[in-house]
A and B are shown apart, each in its own frame.
Chain A
């Protein structure tokens, strides 16, 4: 049970780390176009 006192804060910290990572990804434009990149795979030229 004592492990909770460590694990719960760690999980909270992890949420914030994940949030930061998503923020970075979002603002580097990764989510701006959710359709075209899927078609790029089929396009031999690119």
Chain B
């Protein structure tokens, strides 16, 4: 069913709600004016034609990516987002304009996938769980329909212009003029009936809902012009406007087509991962063979063979990673050298690639405050536009002026200004192994004044090794190690990896963030962790010289462990570069103060604090913020989650971690700190583009609106100007995001890899 834009009455190919970004803004206004009533008109009958074929969701899943259909412009997406957000059962909803997908999380008690899709259907769209292949077919169909409409309008307009031309320059005989008029009528009819159908469908819908959107005035203008011209042709008197009508249709459709192309290009940056994150399902435990050069289809563990794989898609790191039996493989990476056999551990949407893709999409869909403000302005602007159009039209008694005002002031550019930039920033960062989970991070990153670095796992590689074991009680070194291994078996802290596996069994293990582990061994409580943590259990202070980790039981101290960690090779360069940029660098470590101080001195960090619990770090960040700092925090994302949440923007080292558990704005997928700098560069550039775009869009509207209202701009010029403004914004948004960082990378002291900057 062909539909028209809910707001601007332009055609919505395939049947979305809005035709363009401007309409989105307008639709917002409409929604504010009483979206609830709209629900009543649509959902009350409850006539849902057919139950949706729902794919069985794994139990407990209450989050999904939905591919939205019949969506024409950003306004449709806005409407969908608002509708879903008003559903009390929906806990989170983010709609990405560039990819046209909605990320929805819901409360299983109060909503279901069926109820959510039902809500979307109720407002005239359709949604299905995102499947790349289905999506591709859908997109191809939409693109073809769009092109076909555009061609009909364009060729019609061209030809009609040729018939109209003689009348402009020459005195035609009445008979010849009549022939020209009939030919124009014949060619404008399909343009109006076919190419403009979505505008009319939109106007009808608006009429049904008793609202005025952007479709209504355009449809009215087109219909009025055509009817008057057709009457003039039939009766042989009066003026004809066929050329204006077909030109207007062509320019509006053309702008929309180019907008769609740019949007698709921006979305393509996220595509490789999305494609590989949704490979066909393998059952868990299945053993599959991988030929050299083959893309690994699921997450798994190598059972046989030695090879190396290219994990560039996931980490941005193009150096091959050696793999042998027991090593983990991630879907989306490529087996390079030898055949491998792997056992599947996770497939389909459970894979790491799928998790990255989900987070990246969610990140691109979220909006910084600046953008939310711009969207609010756009919504209010639309009412001003409608008002001005009415006044101007009545004042000049010329409906064409009203149409020109409505077309020229469609705040499309304003609504387009940011989403494309964010989607691109997200894609560009992902290509370098930096996963952006919240676009807000870009804004904060740009303003950051202080960087707080964690030590273990952040500045150091987090691959701790055991240097020395000193028994303190009556247990031998080997027994202490066994016990320590058993205690740390359930911990994900980097320290835990330093201890060997153990056959000893402990019960009721409990993890105390930033402190250590506690468990029961045969009824006695034992602890492993910081000296203070262990001292709580056994009292007193540990004998001997200070060490990093202690083991203690209720009856007394058992052992001290000295751990060694390797400093990341890029840590010093990172600190140096951050300071060069005028950022204050802090070190907040849970380790002993003298170690923290030594490390800080080695790296050139001025402010270092050791022996900090997560609460201490939290207060530290809070204090900095009270002093007016915008704090970026870099941590491991697991043990310092509250601190990361407190900071204005947070980085987490994501290599090897379970992404679903990371609570950070930016996840560094590659095992390297370089991502901190590249995300700062990208943030700066992306925010600059967004600001330029918003400024341009506002300036354009401020300039064009009075001109059109004064009657200086005709409808087709208005359509051209509107298209040009949207395209300027889009082209600006498509400018490279990494140009600056490329230059920086080659001049900084970073060991620069082959720069595959996009």
Contact = CB atoms under 8 A, between A and B. Distances in A.
B183 A8 contact: yes
Interface of A: 1, 4-5, 8-9, 11-12, 15, 18-19, 22-23, 26-27, 31-32, 34
A15 B180 CA distance: 15
A6 B140 CA distance: 40
Contacts of B175: 1
B179 A4 contact: yes
Nearest to B182: A8
B155 interface: yes
B286 to A, nearest CB: 34
A5 B144 CA distance: 35
A26 B261 CA distance: 16
B147 interface: yes
Given A12-B183, A15-B159, A19-B155, A27 B176 contact: no
A15 B187 contact: yes
Given A1-B176, A27-B144, 12 more contacts: A4-B176, A4-B180, A8-B163, A11-B162, A12-B183, A15-B187, A18-B155, A19-B155, A22-B155, A26-B148, A32-B140, A32-B143
Interface string B455-470: 0000000000000000
Nearest to B166: A4
Interface in B128-177: 140, 143-144, 147-148, 151-152, 155-156, 159, 162-163, 173, 175-176
A23 B261 CA distance: 20
A9 B187 CA distance: 11
Given A1-B176, A5-B179, A22-B151, A31 B162 contact: no
Contacts of A34: 261
A18 B158 CA distance: 13
Contacts of A22: 148, 151, 155
A19 B151 contact: yes
What 3 A-B pairs are tightest by C-beta distance, nearest first? A8-B183, A15-B159, A22-B151
A32 B530 CA distance: 62
Nearest to B154: A22
Contacts of A27: 144
A1 B677 CA distance: 73
B512 interface: no
Given A4-B176, A12-B187, A31 B152 contact: no
Contacts of B143: 31-32
Residue of B151, B156, B261 with highest tally of chain A CB at under 10 A: B151
B344 to A, nearest CB: 33
B23 to A, nearest CB: 25
B561 to A, nearest CB: 57
30 contacts: A1-B176, A4-B176, A4-B179, A4-B180, A5-B179, A8-B163, A8-B180, A8-B183, A9-B183, A11-B159, A11-B162, A11-B183, A12-B159, A12-B183, A15-B159, A15-B187, A19-B151, A19-B152, A19-B155, A22-B148, A22-B151, A23-B148, A26-B144, A26-B147, A26-B151, A27-B144, A31-B144, A31-B147, A32-B140, A32-B144
B61 interface: no
Given A19-B155, A22-B151, A26-B147, A12 B179 contact: no
A23 B144 CA distance: 9
B186 interface: yes
A25 to B, nearest CB: 10
A23 B186 CA distance: 19
A39 to B, nearest CB: 14
A17 B156 CA distance: 12
Nearest to A23: B148
Nearest to B183: A8
Contacts of A32: 140, 143-144
Contacts of A15: 155-156, 159, 187
A18 B173 CA distance: 29
A9 B179 CA distance: 9
A13 to B, nearest CB: 10
